Structure 1
Amino acid sequence: MNQSSSGAAAGLSVMHELMVRAGVPEERPVPVPATLRYDSTVPYAVCLSLGVPSTGTVDWVFARSLLLEGLRRPRGLGDVLVRPLHRGQRGSVRIVLRSPAGVALLEIAVSAVTAFLEATHLVVAPGTEELHIDLDRLVAELMDGSE
């Protein structure tokens, strides 16, 4: 876990590097480096980056609650689905990512996801996310974009 704080605007962040097993339907998955990130300035979301920064990453942003709920039962609609994996790699969670380019199937150890989520809960407790949204900053950003 990386936690950094440099004032209220910067917030606190959590970063967890891990290996995931990634594949496409009908193919064997292969190990791929990944990073789960959380920032308290965007309290409802997590980011999953696949690959390494030096060669480029593919980033997916989705609800932290989706990741948490997907540990216990299938959750999600549309582009991101999360569910416990009952066959194959036990002790894993499957994340299905859909885009116009196709479908990616990821398997991540439940222990890695749980450790990451526990660290995010120390930064922003579930149910208190709205207290961490800087509405003044959000309005200022929206106003800057409207000019």
Structure 2
Amino acid sequence: MDNTITILGLVSGITGIIGFFFPSEWKEKIIIKIVFTLIILTLTSYIVFLNSKVDRIEKVSKSANLLIEKKQTEFTSEGFILAALSFLEQNKKDFPDSYERAKKIFEKYDNDKYRAIESVNISNEIEGLIKGIGILSTVENK
């Protein structure tokens, strides 16, 4: 949110500078004012959209890190598998490939006759997917 306000401040500052250097003949033409206003609104909307997308991915990445941190203390292997699937399903719009991979891993696990033995291995495989998403938020912090 802080970045959005900064960006909007920059755009409004640039608008003021452009307005100052307008030829005096243009200041009286309403069509030119409307065109410049539409260009600036479109540019601002696009920048805010991109910024909100980045913020959303950062939140998901931080949630992934939190899920990994709590794996050992709050989940059994099977519980972690289900929690990770729920997490990926909730965020499948941002990470569709990871969700599809996790579903395939779970199907292999779900159809295994040695399910209890395989739960640790499958849990570790899915943990790798979640760690990959979590890395996105830690890259900027280093």
TM-score normalised per structure 1: 0.22
Question: Which protein has the larger Cα radius of gyration, Structure 1 or Structure 2?
Answer: 2
Comparing both chains, which one has the higher relative contact order based on Cα–Cα distances under 8 Å and sequence gaps of 6 or more? Answer: 2
The answer to which structure has the higher strand fraction is 1
The answer to which structure has the higher helix fraction is 2
